[in-house]
Structure 1
Amino acid sequence: MARRRPFKLVIALLTLFSALLAGFQFIPSHSTRFSLADYQVEEGFKLSLVAAEPMLRAPVGLDFDNKGRMWVVEMVGYMPNLEGVGEEEPNGRIVILEDGNKDGVADRSKVFLDKLVLPRSVAHVYGGLLYVDGPKLWFVEIVNDKPGKKTLVDPIYAEGGNVEHTSNGLMMNVDNWIYNANYNFRYQLRNGKWIKEPTTSRGQWGITHDNFGRLYYNNNSTNLQGDYVLPNRVIRNKYFKPTFAEHQRLASNRVYPIHQTSVNRGYQPGVLDEKGMLREVTASCGPLVYRGGAFPDAYNQNAFVCVPEANLIKRNILDFSSLQTKARQATEGKEFIASTDEGFRPVNLFNGPDGAMYVVDMHRGIIQHKAYISQYLTAQLSDKKLDTLQNAGRILKITSTTAKLNAVPDFAKATTKDLIALLSHPNGWLRDRAQQLLIQKKDLTAVSPLLALAKGENELGTAIHALYVLEGINALTFERLTGIINESKQPQTIAHAVGLLERFATKERVGAMKLLVANLLAQKDETIDLYLSMALNGWVNVSETTFLPVLSSIEKKYATQRIFGEALTSGLAGKEEQYLASMNPGDLLKNNLTATIGKRQKNEMNPIYVVQKNEADNRTKGLKLYRSICGTCHGADGKGIQDLAPPLKGSEYIDGSMKRLAAIILHGVSGPIHVDGKLYQLNNEMPALINNKDISDADIADIIRFTQNAFAKQGKGISEADVKKMRAMKPAGNGVFTEKQLLETDFDK
């Protein structure tokens, strides 16, 4: 045995040498403080540390490559201080992390891309990497772990708003489309060209899908939202905006932290309970439908949600028993994971290729953007010195103590047969990746076995995966789809297939389609009926007399169900008047169609077909205007600058009348002025904005709203009309207010 040790040492050294040549940086086992004593983990599960600082900083998202390695996006520029100054610095990165010695902890790190501005998500798709840099969405080829040819996919992807309200997510769904959180477009690379088309704008930070392909998301104050129907099925009528089939709150917002936490509006009544604990989510994000197949069966397709402000992760049990998905708290009064470490900031969750759930812990003190952070939270973070917790970050892994993780296959050596077999694997990540790799291979020998899978079992979504591989390699025909529909006993497979069938609508196929539809209606299945109602528009355009009665028969059966009313309105796009004239619909559908006709006449489209980019909200606009106009003198932190301007924090002009504040901004101030009992001898006049044509009444109102949030003891509101009135309050003399005039004038009369 002793003689073998030098040989093992040589192998180890060769492994180290080859890794160094590949550009990896070896980092010894981290000494980051991580104590399980700080965490309460649901019984039957284990939490472990996979990677931490200094290996990574400020992680916000990740994806796995075909080798099972993590590609982590670091948003280092987010809120570098309590003033949020410096966010535009190009200090973001995408790093590759690898577990070289296979002990479950990453020990190799390589920078793939750096000098990025607020990057927020990545996705391994089409053999390359999709990522965000500033407002732009890029696709880059990967050549030996280095960036190759870059393609600009969307120049305005994340334009507008602040980083908490700009596009992110980048998730490939089972339908071969890439969806986002917080953006009304989806993407696909087709025949070498990037396609961008409208979709519903969903959520705020993070997006996920179930085995069927429905989407789930949330916003800061909503634990979990979701669509009752598959994406882009109920929005086909451009003059109709559904309000029921999509964007539904699925679960309670109640939250159960295990310690008092600092939250932005903690001073408001009802935000905290009598023990000072957070009652409901205020910063929920990063939802994940678990599809890893390595947890006990009861956890499959549960929806997990990050709650970073309360240092916990929720578990919601999804109920698919009806057309309207529901969710409930898994364990009443207790969370899946809860921590007493106030630096624990889970912001995203991911299924892993091994079946584990991966937690992206940004691990920092400040998780509230400057545009929204209150004086209350600023003081709490400062007192606890949480504002000094910067440039840290963790990747954690959640595993079951009773189920084994699966081995990650060698995709580089996987044959077409191997990939087809993976479409039936319990791990949804492996199924998803196998689907996309089969599409990239374009191996037509796969058609026959894929057709067989598409007609068979669908417990894990296998038939749906097979169906969309066929779609992705352009192997679907009318005959093949009708064969799948006729032989399948799976309503969910049929739901997808009837949607794909619409592209083949021609007059020559009307007879065959009529027979197929009759057979489907005879099954008396509400899922099939629902998706038929959304998938016959192309066929109606070919033959109204054949297919309008079909839609009418569905409508009569479900006349009072809102989800069917919206589905039919979507499916009847452009044929509303004909349907009203000939089919005598019930009140629900009649009202939808009448409203839609009115909107078409006024050319009032569903906003997703009009809006091209996210617009900044009022408070973010106010922040930007404050920094460019006011901050140079009053300071980014509102504390004032000596010999230039007095502080705004503690100022009676901020805490007093809003109309007076508007008048000051419009007309300016000259001479000495007292603020919070202190005399300030100003050498210069505060410049007036009344003659600046680029600054509107709305802009001034936004500046005031920002100052109220950032600097006032108790925020007050103001309207554009109030600002407009103050334009006429021109002071006597040179038109600039003195302190005496400010104190003697009744601005609120």
Structure 2
Amino acid sequence: MRRASSTPTQTAHETVRNIRHALIRRGAALVVGLLAAVAWVPGGLGAQVGDRASIDTAPPPAHWKIPPAPVRSPDESMRMMDLQPGFRIELVASEPLVQDPIAFAFDHRNQLWVLEWPSYNWPLHDVLPGLEPQPTPVSRLVVLKDTDGDGRMDTRTVFAQMDWPRGIQLVDGGVLVFALPEIVVLRDTDGDDKADLREVLQGGLPIPVNPHLAPSSPSWTLDNWTYGLQVDQRLRLAGDTTLKVPSGRLAGQWGMSHDDFGRLFFSYNQDHIRGSLVPAAYATRNPHYTASAGVDVRVGMDNDVWPHAITPGVNRRAQLRDDGRLAAFTANAAPSVYRGDQFPEAYRGNVFVGESAGRLIRRSVLTERDGIITGKNAYAEREFLFSHDERFRPVFSATGPDGALYVADMYRGIIEGHIFMTTFLRNQIVERGLQHPFGGMGRIYRIVHEGRPLGTLPTIAPGNVAAWVPVLAHPNGHWRDMAQRMLVASRSKAVVPAVRTLAMSHEDPRVRLHGLWTLEGLGGADDDLVRARLTDTSPHVRIAALRVAEGRLPAAAMRRAVMALADDSDVSVRRQVLYTLGASDASDVGDARMRLLRRDVAAPFVIDAFMSGLAGREAQTLDTVVRSPSWASDRPEHRALVTALATAISNEGRAEQVAALRRLSSESNAGVPWQREAVLEGVQASNRARQPATTAAPPRDAATAALVEQGRAAYALCAACHQADGRGLPSLAPPLAGSPRVTGPPDALVDIVLRGRDEDPAYPSMPPLAALPDDQLSAILTYVRQAWGNAAPAISADAVRARRGSATGAMRP
């Protein structure tokens, strides 16, 4: 931990220099150089880095009536918003009080903490007319206050300045910030609302070329841990100690929220609600098998959007319907679970998602069945909110302390990322002056239901820890969370009896849930309490009690109480029993887990729940399965189990067990044919098969070796999506390690990078890289063909040049 100097921020010159160095180290200079190389031609354009097809360069159809897009005052902008009947929108703060907001949080004193990112898309200063190169501005975390109680913020204090801000989470006595490349806790020790203490919790986080794939969005949830997007650990602050443990990676792009039961929700640009429906930490518990099922699940089933008017300011013309309206999500931000009490009851648990390019906010109604959650638009071909103001950019939302829904509007003419700029969008920007002003504006709004008053805010005197206990029963989830955090942070044993009473007997299961987790955080959840909550009437409380019970399984009485839930009527509870028993190697646990597996093997995520706690016992289990008549029938779930077991065994790599796998998958084996096929599939899917340690790259002469090293540096352009280890990201980018497309015919691979690729429905389309010179493409392609166990020959610059020349340009018709 270190105390900040008397000048807590760097000078502008130092900041710019450090950002430039950080970006160059990660290859972002590639993109800036590409953008700068695209010349502006009056009346027309050269190809842009985001152009993928001829339609990306075509002008809008003549019948589109595209309105002007001037800067409007907050009052003018609000008058241009279509909001569902029964609601109104109110201004909370606007420029200059708030500028370029990307996230916010209310503290226990109802002060509003806002993260501002003025440098977003800053490389456009080098390439758009009227935007001259300028020093990159620093980002800010500011504190806004409403000193006269009129509902609008009226004072602003800069708490801290930083580079690359990617999310905040209020914590005990301070604020946790993803300020890349670090995760820090900033504290104010003298009460002036300015940070004077800075503790680095973690360093070395990546700053990718594409900021949408950077680590972001620290989010505390009910289990007292803080999770983030694009990171592999979860954090927990416990006094002066910071706990960091591996956790399954949540691969969302911006913003994360949790429901009343602690399940996490996030999104991708083209997939507006994803969810972690099981605790992400279980994904990495078995070192031989990544049990990721349930950690990143599609929740929003309808990605079509329904703007109420034309929305031409998007990247690609092909994204628009014939009438000029956006057809599907493309720029999602911060799905927010509404947990307040100001909206009618039917809105509780709904998810609100801002689509910043489409200038709308979607309301999705969630439905749960057998532990699976799905979401659907609440309106037929309409949205909860749509703005006719081109510059309205809803990038973040959250339930406020008064129960209203708060929305951050970055208020910019350009919101699409600079590395995806198309000719179509650039024309829109320049013709309508969307680049002026570039930044420095922003609004925060409050959406209120007109039929209900705003909620009353609790007032807790400083130091009165006991006064937080009844707040655990507040009807607004914002305050229940706040009370739990404050109580756990207090480390007060004096409040344990009162919290225990709530956990044991409150009529609302949400309150019992908070009581249980609060006691867990305070170290006051004894065995009697846990066993009592294992029989709670709410399945969500039973699931939480099972999680709390994991550290107590050495006690036979606790194991028996857990195993009694193997016959629970709720499949999501039985699935959690599998996860929980996986924390024990007691002799009576194995049979119970196998019985549960046989019963629920076809249920969602159950195989991964079983595999999560099986480390070291996979070979024995596979032997049991292939010999047992109970598993002999050829069913999809039986195949999936055998494949998972074979994958884990192959990953572990013990010679005698791998040899046994080879015998099982051999044609000479007299076993069941489908089992041989499933074993072979598991071996092929294993990490060892995808990244064979024994496979060497082909021999390299000096020229090829130099090309590989050049490509290693330039690959930073691709690593944001495909990852530094070539494994890709689920639903975002396919793996390059072990990919037949990468190691296959060179011409096909060159065509993909020159023209882009969008035929695979499992992943968003890939933009073309035709703007890169032939030698740079040659280096990147040679590197990926010889990295991570890939062993394919180099691709020369001449080969790239030949393919470029043989195509009809770099774009497809």
With structure 2 as the length reference, what TM-score do the two structures score? Answer: 0.70
**Aligned-partner Cα distance in 1 for 2:552–2:509:** 28
Structure 1's 260 and 126: CA in aligned 2 closer, same or farther, altered over 3 A?
same
The residue that corresponds to 1:130 in the other structure is 176
SS of structure 2 residue aligned to 1:310: coil
Residue by residue over 1:143-167, the C-alpha shift from the partner in whole angstroms, topping out at 9 and shown as x without a partner, is: 3112122101111235334322211
SS of 2:372 mapped into structure 1: coil
**1:315 aligns to what?**
363
**Aligned position for 1:98:** 145
**Maintained 8 Å contact 1:287/1:304:** yes
Asked if 1:551 corresponds to 2:593, the answer is: yes
Aligned residue among 97, 119, 122 for 2:165: 119
Q: Quick one: structure 1 residues 278 and 721, their matched pair in 2 at CA, closer, same or farther if it must change by over 3 Å?
A: farther
Deviation at 1:171, TM superposition (A): 1.1
Helix, strand or coil for the counterpart of 1:565? helix
8 Å Cα contact 1:302/1:315 also seen in 2: yes
Partner of 1:521: 566
Partner amino acid for 1:697?
A
Shift of 1:176: 0.7
Q: Tell me the equivalent position of 1:156.
A: 204
Matched to 2:187, the amino acid is E
Deviates more, 1:61-70 or 1:132-141: 132-141
Q: Which residue of 2 aligns with 1:599?
A: 651
1:590 maps to 2:632: no
Letter in structure 2 aligned against 1:532? V
Report the more deviating stretch, 287-296 or 461-470: 461-470
1:198 aligns with 2:239: no
Cα distance change on mapping 1:123 and 1:517 into 2, 3 Å? closer
- Alignment check: 8 A CA contact 1:84 1:370 kept: no
- Relative to 1, partners in 2 of residues 1:88 and 1:220: Cα closer, same or farther, differing over 3 Å? farther
Verify: 1:326 aligned to 2:374, yes or no: yes
The CA distance in 1 between the partners of 2:772 and 2:339, in whole Å, is: 58
- 1:139 counterpart = 2:189: no
Of 416, 429, 433, 2:482 maps to 433
Deviation at 1:330, TM superposition (A): 0.5
Instruction: Give, in angstroms, the shift of residue 372 of structure 1.
Output: 1.5
The match for 1:44 among 70, 81, 86 is 86
Match of 1:530 among 575, 595, 615: 575
Partner residue, 1:618: 718
One-letter amino acid of the counterpart of residue 422, structure 2: S
Q: Which residue of 1 aligns with 2:496?
A: 447
Of 100, 104, 112, which residue of structure 2 is paired with 1:58? 100
Residue of structure 2 in register with 1:371 after alignment? 419
CA apart distance, 1:599: 2.0
| Among candidates 281, 284, 288, match of residue 232 of structure 1 | 281
How far does residue 605 in structure 1 lie from its aligned partner after superposition?
8.6
Distance 1:171 1:730, change over 3 A: closer
Give the 3-state SS of the residue equivalent to 1:724 in structure 2: coil
Does the CA contact (< 8 Å) of 1:346 and 1:360 recur in 2? Answer: yes
Q: Letter of the 2:347 partner, please give it.
A: Y
Contact preservation (8 Å) 2:87, 2:448: yes
Unpaired runs of 5+ in structure 1? 1-29, 608-614, 623-653, 667-688, 690-694, 703-718, 732-741
**Partners of 1:505 and 1:142 in 2: CA distance:** 41
Whether the aligned pair in 2 keeps the contact of 1:32 and 1:53 (CA below 8 Å) is no
Q: Residue 321 of structure 2: SS of its match in structure 1?
A: coil
Verify the 8 A CA contact 2:144 2:157 in the aligned structure 1: yes
Q: Give distance in 2, aligned partners of 1:108 and 1:575.
A: 61
Contact 2:105 2:114 in 1 (8 A): yes
2:552 & 2:646 partners in 1: Cα distance? 30
Match of 2:795 in 1: 724
Shift of 1:244: 3.8
Give the partner amino acid of 2:90: S
| 8 Å CA contact 1:307, 1:347 repeated in 2 | yes
**How far is 1:473 from its partner?**
1.4
AA matched with 2:560: L
Q: 1:67, 1:408 within 8 Å by CA — same for their partners in 2?
A: no
Whole-Å Cα distance in 1 between the matches of residues 689 and 470 of structure 2? Answer: 42
Q: Does 1:282 align with 2:343?
A: no
**Does 1:352 pair with 2:400?**
yes
Please tell me whether the aligned partners of residues 208 and 719 of structure 2 are also in contact (alpha carbons under 8 angstroms): no
| Contact 1:76–1:118 (CA under 8 A) maintained in structure 2 | no
Change (3 A) 1:620 1:87: farther
1: CA distance, partners of 2:274 / 2:484: 27
Give 1:40 deviation, angstroms: 0.6
Change (3 A) 1:410 1:700: farther
Distance in structure 1 (CA, Å) of the matches to 2:376 and 2:622: 40
Task: Determine which of 147, 163, 183 is the counterpart of 2:231.
Answer: 183
Q: Structure 2: how far apart are the matches of 1:524 and 1:729? A: 61
Instruction: Indicate whether 1:463 and 2:509 are aligned.
Output: no
Say whether the 8 Å CA contact 1:178–1:188 is kept in structure 2: yes
Cα distance in 1 for partners of 2:430, 2:522 equals 56
Aligned to 1:109: 156
**Cα drift, residue 696 of structure 1:** 6.8
Q: Which residue of 1 aligns with 2:115?
A: 73
Q: How do residues 684-695 of structure 1 correspond to structure 2 at under 5 angstroms?
A: none
Moved more, 132-141 or 356-365: 132-141
Query: Which residue number corresponds to residue 267 of structure 1?
Result: 317
CA drift at 1:414: 6.8
Decide whether aligned partners of structure 1 residues 455 and 521 sit closer, same or farther in structure 2, where only a CA change above 3 A counts.
Answer: farther
- Rounded to whole Å, the distance in 1 between the matches of 2:490 and 2:474 is 19
Compared CA separation, residues 549 and 458, structure 1 to 2 (3 A): farther
Which amino acid letter does the alignment assign opposite residue 254 of structure 1?
Answer: D
Q: Secondary structure at the match of 2:796?
A: helix
CA apart distance, 1:295: 0.8
**Partner of residue 423, structure 1:** 472
Question: Cα offset for 1:110?
Answer: 1.2
Give the superposition deviation at 1:699. 7.3
Taking the aligned partners of 2:171 and 2:423, their CA distance within structure 1 comes to 43
Query: In structure 2, the residue corresponding to 1:423 is in which secondary structure?
Result: helix
1:43 CA drift (Å): 1.1
* Residues 236 and 243 in structure 2, CA contact (< 8 A), matched pair in contact too: yes
SS of alignment partner, residue 574 of structure 1: coil
2-structure distance, mates of 1:460, 1:244: 27
Q: Which residue is equivalent to 2:660?
A: none
Shift of 1:538: 2.5
State the 1:344 CA deviation.
0.3
Q: Determine the structure 1 residue equivalent to 2:618.
A: 576
Instruction: Map Cα deviations across residues 183-241 of structure 1 (whole Å, 9 max, x no partner).
Output: 23221113522222222322100011111111111011111111232332344223323
| Structure-1 residue corresponding to 2:303 | 253
Letter in 1 for 2:594: S
Deviation, structure 1 residue 661: 8.3
Answer whether contact 2:178 2:215 (CA < 8 A) is retained: no
The alignment partner of 2:140 has SS state of: strand
CA 1:696 to 1:410, structure 2 compared with 1: closer, same or farther past 3 Å? farther
SS at match of 1:82: helix
Structure 2, gaps ≥5 residues long: 1-71, 128-132, 632-637, 655-685, 691-714, 723-753, 756-767, 785-789
CA 1:665–1:36 in structure 2 vs 1: closer, same or farther (change >3 Å)? closer
Structure 1 vs Structure 2 CA RMSD: 3.5
Question: Which amino acid in structure 2 is aligned with residue 464 of structure 1?
Answer: L
Mapped contact 1:214–1:231 kept (Cα < 8 A) = no
Q: Which amino acid aligns with 1:599?
A: N
- Alpha-carbon distance change, 83 to 495 in structure 1, aligned in 2, over 3 angstroms: same
**Count of equivalent residues:** 615
CA contact (8 A) 1:697 1:720 kept: no
Question: Is the Cα–Cα contact under 8 Å of residues 262 and 381 in structure 1 kept in the other structure?
Answer: no
The 3 A distance-change label for structure 1 pair 518 and 168 is closer
For the residue of structure 2 that corresponds to 1:146, the secondary structure is coil
Corresponding residue for residue 539 of structure 2: 491
Distance 1:743 1:410, change over 3 A: closer
Deviation at 1:74, TM superposition (A): 0.6
Bigger Rg over Cα: 1
Q: Which has the higher contact order (CA 8 A, sep 6+)?
A: 2
